[in-house]
Amino acid sequence: MKMKLLFLCFCYVSMVAMAMAKTEMKTYIVHMSKSEMPPSFQHHTHWYDSSLKSVSGSAQMLYTYEHAIHGFSARLTEEEAESLKSQPGILSVLPELRYDLHTTRTPEFLGLDKNADMSPQSDSGSDVIIGVLDTGVWPESKSFVDTGMGPVPSSWKGQCETGTNFTAANCNRKLIGARFFANGYEATLGPIDESKESKSPRDDDGHGTHTSTTTGGSVVQDASLFGYAAGSARGMAPRARVAVYKVCWIGGCFSSDILGAMDKAIEDGVNVLSMSLGGGMSDYYKDSVAIGAFAAMEKGILVSCSAGNAGPTSYSLSNVAPWITTVGAGTLDRDFPAFVSLGNGQNYSGVSLFRGSSLPGKLLPFVYAGNASNSSSGNLCMMDSLIPEKVAGKIVFCDRGVNARAQKGAVVKAAGGLGMVLANTPANGEELVADAHLLPATSVGEKNGNLIKNYLFSDPNPTVTILFEGTKVGIQPSPIVAAFSSRGPNSITPDILKPDLIAPGVNILAGWTGSVGPTGLSTDTRRVEFNIISGTSMSCPHVSGLAALLKGAHPDWSPAAIRSALMTTSYVVYKTGRKLQDSATGKESTPFDHGSGHVDPVSALNPGLVYDLTAEDYLDFLCALNYTAAEITSLARRRYACDSKKKYSTNDLNYPSFAVNFDSMQSNRGANVVKHTRTLTNVGAAGTYKAVISGQFQGVKISVEPESLSFSQAKEKKSYTVTFIGSSMPVNSNAFARLEWSDGKHIVGSPIAVSWT
What residue type is assigned to position 715 of the chain?
A: K
The one catalytic residue among 49, 127, 134, 495: 134
The one catalytic residue among 207, 437, 542, 676: 207
H-assigned helices in 598-682: 601-604, 615-624, 629-636, 664-669
Query: Which value, to the nearest 10 degrees, does the dihedral of the CA atoms of residues 125, 129, 135, 136 take?
Result: 100
Instruction: For residue 604, give every residue at least 6 positions away whose Cβ sits within 8 Å of its Cβ, in sequence order, or none.
Output: 546, 550, 565, 566, 569
- Nearest partner of 504 among 333, 309, 351, judged by Cα: 333
Instruction: For residue 169, give every residue at least 6 positions away whose Cβ sits within 8 Å of its Cβ, in sequence order, or none.
Output: none
Q: Residue length, the chain?
A: 757
The one catalytic residue among 73, 92, 537, 570: 537
Question: With contact defined as beta carbons under 8 Å apart, do 433 and 408 qualify?
Answer: no
Distance between CA atoms of residues 70 and 734, nearest Å: 41
At residue 568, what are phi and psi to the nearest 5 degrees? -75, -15
Distance between CA atoms of residues 613 and 565, nearest Å: 13
Per-residue b or e along 386-405, where b marks 16 or more CB atoms closer than 10 Å to that residue's CB: bbeebbeebbbbbbbbebeb
To the query of whether residue 102 is one of the catalytic residues in this protein, the response is no
The number of angstroms, rounded, from the C-alpha of 258 to the middle of its chain's C-alpha atoms is 15
- Report the DSSP beta bridge partners of residue 747: 742
H/E element holding 541? helix 536-553
- Nearest partner of 240 among 143, 170, 314, judged by Cα: 143
Report the number of secondary-structure helices (H) and strands (E) in the chain: 18, 39
To the query of whether residue 274 is one of the catalytic residues in this protein, the response is no
DSSP conformation letters of 207-264: HHHHHHHHHHPPPEEEEEETTEEEEEE--SSTTSEEEEEE-EETTEEEHHHHHHHHHH
| DSSP reduced 3-state for 8 | helix
Evaluated on CA atoms 97, 98, 101, 102, the torsion sign reads negative
Instruction: For residue 8, give every residue at least 6 positions away whose Cβ sits within 8 Å of its Cβ, in sequence order, or none.
Output: none
H/E element holding 335? strand 334-335
Query: Which value, to the nearest 10 degrees, does the dihedral of the CA atoms of residues 538, 558, 110, 306 take?
Result: 20
To the query of whether residue 582 is one of the catalytic residues in this protein, the response is no
H/E element holding 83? helix 78-85
Instruction: For residue 704, give every residue at least 6 positions away whose Cβ sits within 8 Å of its Cβ, in sequence order, or none.
Output: 691, 693, 720, 721, 722, 723, 739
Dihedral class, residue 611 (left if φ above 0, else alpha if ψ from -120 to 50, else beta): beta
Q: Is 666 exposed, middle or buried (0-12, 13-18, 19+ CB in 10 A)?
A: middle
Per-residue b or e along 198-226, where b marks 16 or more CB atoms closer than 10 Å to that residue's CB: bbbbbbbbbbbbbbbbbbbbbbbeebbbb
What residue type is assigned to position 720 of the chain?
A: Y
DSSP conformation letters of 346-415: -EE--B----SSPPPSS-EEEEEGGGSBSSTTGGG--TT-B-HHHHTTSEEEEE-BSB-HHHHHHHHHHT
H/E element holding 581? strand 581-582
Question: With contact defined as beta carbons under 8 Å apart, do 469 and 227 qualify?
Answer: no
Catalytic machinery residues: 134, 207, 537
